[in-house]
Copies of this chain bind each other. A is one copy, B any other.
Amino acid sequence: MSDDRHTNRMQRKKDVVDERISRATEERGVLILLKGNGKGKSSSALGTMARALGHGQRCAVIQFIKGRRETGEYLFFRDQPNLDWHIMGQGFTWETQDRERDIEAAQSAWAVAKGLLENPDYHLIVLDEMSYMFKYGYLDPLPVVEALNQRPAHQNVIITGRTMATPLQEIADTISTVQDERHAFRGGVKAQAGIEY
């Protein structure tokens, strides 16, 4: 391609992009769902949170499943002044094998989340692996939808987990599905610090 043809083509592309940008004018918080069976949902939420922290925004994370404190993400983020990190999980259901305890943990986590969703000081709230709570029937999605709908207008929320409850999908602004096309684990590579946890 000649440089002139390249420039013309890029000018046309720029016009299309600029036109799209000019139509997106609403300024408000968004609800983002990160679902699917692929690697990268929680890490994507945390990377977005790093962005928010970089802009001085107050953030909170609630982990609904993970109960460990030795994860790289916790070790890295725990001293951030603008961030609350709540480890409310007890591990996966097949690890705890105790349904009553799982339900209690889910409800405690939701009580904390609900308080954050009412607090305009928080700019971004990450509800990590919350979707399993609906899948297992530990939480009812409808009060969660109600709290999300009533949250402060500027507040961004990210919810992660493999399968997402339908009522949440109905009110979401952005939905990304992370598909597992290949995974090192199935190729025999052990889960490692700095990648999986």
Interface pair A188/B26, CB less than 8 Å apart: yes
Check: A177 CB closer than 8 A to any chain B CB. Answer: yes
Interface pair A53/B72, CB less than 8 Å apart: yes
For residue A100, which residues in chain B have a CB less than 8 angstroms away from its CB? Answer: 3
Check: A149 CB closer than 8 A to any chain B CB. Answer: no
Interface pair A51/B76, CB less than 8 Å apart: yes
Interface residues of A in 69-87 (CB under 8 A from B): 71-77
Interface pair A25/B57, CB less than 8 Å apart: no
For residue A105, which residues in chain B have a CB less than 8 angstroms away from its CB? Answer: none
Contact of A24 among B178, B182, B190 (CB under 8 A): B190
Check: A111 CB closer than 8 A to any chain B CB. Answer: no
| A3-46 vs B, Cβ < 8 Å mask (1 yes, 0 no) | 10011001101100100110111111010101010111111111
Interface pair B40/A34, CB less than 8 Å apart: yes
**Distance A185 CA – B175 CA, assembled complex (angstroms):** 12
Question: Closest CB-CB distance, A123 to chain B, in whole Å?
Answer: 6
Overall SS of chain A's interface: mixed
Interface pair B177/A173, CB less than 8 Å apart: no
**Distance A17 CA – B179 CA, assembled complex (angstroms):** 20
Check: A146 CB closer than 8 A to any chain B CB. Answer: no
- When A188-B26, A189-B24 are in contact, do A54 and B32 touch as well, CB less than 8 Å? no
For residue A6, which residues in chain B have a CB less than 8 angstroms away from its CB? Answer: 97, 99
Chain A residues packing against B (C-beta within 8 Å):
1, 3, 6-7, 10-11, 13-14, 17, 20-21, 23-28, 30, 32, 34, 36, 38-55, 57, 71-77, 93-100, 123-124, 156, 172-195, 197
A-B contact pairs, 9 of them (CB 8 A): A6-B99, A40-B176, A47-B73, A50-B77, A51-B73, A51-B76, A51-B193, A54-B75, A123-B194
